[in-house]
Structure 1
């Protein structure tokens, strides 16, 4: 076969170019630490690597969400813990206010400290996170959740019941906040009765007080009728010569509740103490179960402070105010404890999911490495081999390209 100068030159040049391209490709694989430089190198592995990259990016975002969520929950837990401490102090002060030796000045001192606790609790309930959002305002985190209304003289909630959730995995999302509507406002006020009314007879006064709160609470829950308000009315019917019967809306209870009556001697009934004074027989005294109410800790302390500072408050009214405060502080504390428990549960789930995601990242990275990462020894060997081949081809090309007919004539 005859070979022209151009053919010889092009063959030599192509050899140099191809060998140089192979060496460059090996160097690029080593530099980028991957054997797949383009999808054409390995279409199947390239598709799998792309999917793994997407999964790794998604998992990384889940991990960032987990860190943010944990920080939010830690902030809420810290706030609730501090509130719990303040509530315990308020309970101690409420108990102390019932000391019979306390003067009006002593009660005012208690009132002053309770006001400071109220200010502290209000500040904690209006806590903001690092982004400036109010953590207990629900979705309305740009609005201060608790504001005092001078018209109603109550602290009113300005947020909503929303919870902002963060995705921790494709199927798990956890809320990073709790609405003050559930933490602070959804708290039962003390169950009690209305003031007694002398409906008939010559009684001069009557008092109904709760002496066993837990027993009365059970009675209240079993008997309060929200559909028929008349069923919440109770009557103490006094008959000659010295008997009483307690009825419900004019009908005898089952079984009947009867006994001997003496003016000034308390009648015990389902955790209540009913005291009727004066020539009451025959006669009747009526009272009712008050409708259930919800009251936040700020309003509870506000009402208690007013009772302590009012010089006209008698001992019976003071005792009732103390009992109201104690029961409602306890209920508020229990509610805070419940939400702290839910935060702990969320943190446990969060930690478990976080560890699972870390394991998935390791597995995906390992699989991705198996599919795409370059073998360093192989890449270095290939570079060396192609470098030697390039040197050989270059030297051969130089010698061959220099050969001509005149070289043979000489």
Structure 2
């Protein structure tokens, strides 16, 4: 076979270039720390590595969401804890104000402290997070959660019931906030009956006092019926010679509630003291109803109590009602806050658990990815060394062979 100069030269050059390509590939593997430079190197492993990369990116986003959620929940927990402390102080001041020896000046001093606490609570209820959003406004986080209406001397909610959730795993989305409507606005006002009315007989007066609020609250929850309204009416029926029976909408209770009636002596019933005056009260009847439940903003209740403290002409019974109102609603609001704090603690526990699981998944996926794609350093260095030796050998051979020609034999 006849070999031309070009064929000889090209054959040598191809050998050099192929060896350089192999050495460069080994160097790229070492530099990029992967044995799969293109999908063609290992199609099956390449597809698996691509899936693992996507999974790692997804888990990384879940972890970022978890950190953001935990920070938001920590902020809310701090705010609610501080509010709880302030509300305990309100309760302490309300109890102290019931001291009958307090002068007008002393009540005014309590009022001033309560005003400062009210401002503090209002500020906390409008707390913003690091992104500038109001944490208790629900989805309307660019609007302050609560505002004050000077005309009615009341506070009202401006947000909504929304809870913004973030995904922390493929199947778990965790809310990072609580609506102020649920925590502060939807607080049950004190349950109490209506003013009693003398509907029959010669009674001159009838009053109802609260002797045991917790007992009445339990009775109210078990017996109040929204429809029909008539079922919430109770009748104290007085019969000769000096007996009473309490009916519900004209029907005897089960078991019957009966006893001996004495004018101006309270009749005990479900935590209430029903006092009927008048020597000619028997026979006769006094009616009262269970009023519908009301929701009231706790700041408004504190404001009403401040008004009572600042009123030097308020009667003793009216002031006691104001004290009982604020104590009951502060207890109800505190219970709301305690429940929310408990829920936050539960969410944080879930966050920590899922965060740990995601970390384990990340470690496992990275290890599997390394097994599939990472280069063996010893093998890569050995390959580079081998190709360097081969390149030196083929270069030396190419130099010698390319220098030989037919003229060398003619000389």
The normalised TM-score by structure 2 is: 0.97
Paired residues of 1:191 and 1:220 also in contact (CA < 8 A): yes
1:184 corresponds to which residue?
184
Paired residues of 2:126 and 2:135 also in contact (CA < 8 A): yes
Cα distance in 2 for residues equivalent to 1:247 and 1:118: 43
1:367 corresponds to which residue?
368
* SS of corresponding position for 1:37: coil
Paired residues of 1:240 and 1:281 also in contact (CA < 8 A): no
1:116 corresponds to which residue?
116
Shift of 1:138: 0.6
Cα distance in 1 for residues equivalent to 2:67 and 2:224: 47
Residues 314-333 of structure 1 mapped to structure 2, 5 A cutoff: 314-333=315-334
1:204 corresponds to which residue?
204
How many pairs align?
Answer: 410
Cα deviation, 1:249-298, whole Å, max 9, x if unaligned, reads 23333333222222221111111011223334233322111111112211
Shift of 1:299: 1.5
2:292 corresponds to which residue?
291
1:146 corresponds to which residue?
146
Structure 1: state its 5+ residue gaps: none
Runs of 4+ in 1 over 4 A off after TM superposition: none
Paired residues of 1:220 and 1:289 also in contact (CA < 8 A): yes
Residues 164-179 of structure 1 mapped to structure 2, 5 A cutoff: 164-179=164-179
Paired residues of 1:234 and 1:247 also in contact (CA < 8 A): yes
Paired residues of 1:242 and 1:281 also in contact (CA < 8 A): no
Cα distance in 2 for residues equivalent to 1:198 and 1:220: 22
1:156 corresponds to which residue?
156
Structure 2: state its 5+ residue gaps: none
Cα distance in 1 for residues equivalent to 2:142 and 2:402: 81
Paired residues of 2:168 and 2:354 also in contact (CA < 8 A): yes
* SS of corresponding position for 1:311: coil
Cα distance in 2 for residues equivalent to 1:202 and 1:216: 28
Residues 261-340 of structure 1 mapped to structure 2, 5 A cutoff: 261-282=261-282, 283-340=284-341
Cα distance in 2 for residues equivalent to 1:363 and 1:254: 67
Matched, 1:67 2:67: yes
Paired residues of 1:238 and 1:280 also in contact (CA < 8 A): no
Query: Structure 2 vs 1, CA of residues 109 and 280 (structure 1 numbering), >3 Å: closer, same or farther?
Result: farther
Range 228-237 or range 347-356, more displaced? 228-237
Range 284-293 or range 346-355, more displaced? 284-293
Shift of 1:69: 0.4
Cα distance in 1 for residues equivalent to 2:310 and 2:278: 32
2:91 corresponds to which residue?
91
1:229 corresponds to which residue?
229
Paired residues of 2:202 and 2:280 also in contact (CA < 8 A): yes
Shift of 1:68: 0.3
Cα deviation, 1:304-350, whole Å, max 9, x if unaligned, reads 11222222321111111111111111111011001100100000000
1:384 corresponds to which residue?
385
Query: Structure 2 vs 1, CA of residues 157 and 87 (structure 1 numbering), >3 Å: closer, same or farther?
Result: same
Paired residues of 2:156 and 2:297 also in contact (CA < 8 A): no
Shift of 1:42: 0.8
Shift of 1:190: 1.1
Paired residues of 2:39 and 2:46 also in contact (CA < 8 A): yes
> RMSD over aligned Cα, in angstroms?
1.4
1:260 corresponds to which residue?
260
Range 100-109 or range 156-165, more displaced? 100-109
* SS of corresponding position for 1:112: helix
Paired residues of 2:156 and 2:185 also in contact (CA < 8 A): no
Residues 15-26 of structure 1 mapped to structure 2, 5 A cutoff: 15-26=15-26
Cα deviation, 1:38-86, whole Å, max 9, x if unaligned, reads 1111111111111111001111000000000000000000010001001
Matched, 1:217 2:224: no
Cα distance in 2 for residues equivalent to 1:81 and 1:116: 18
Query: Structure 2 vs 1, CA of residues 253 and 73 (structure 1 numbering), >3 Å: closer, same or farther?
Result: same
Shift of 1:105: 1.4
Shift of 1:221: 1.4
Paired residues of 1:9 and 1:401 also in contact (CA < 8 A): yes
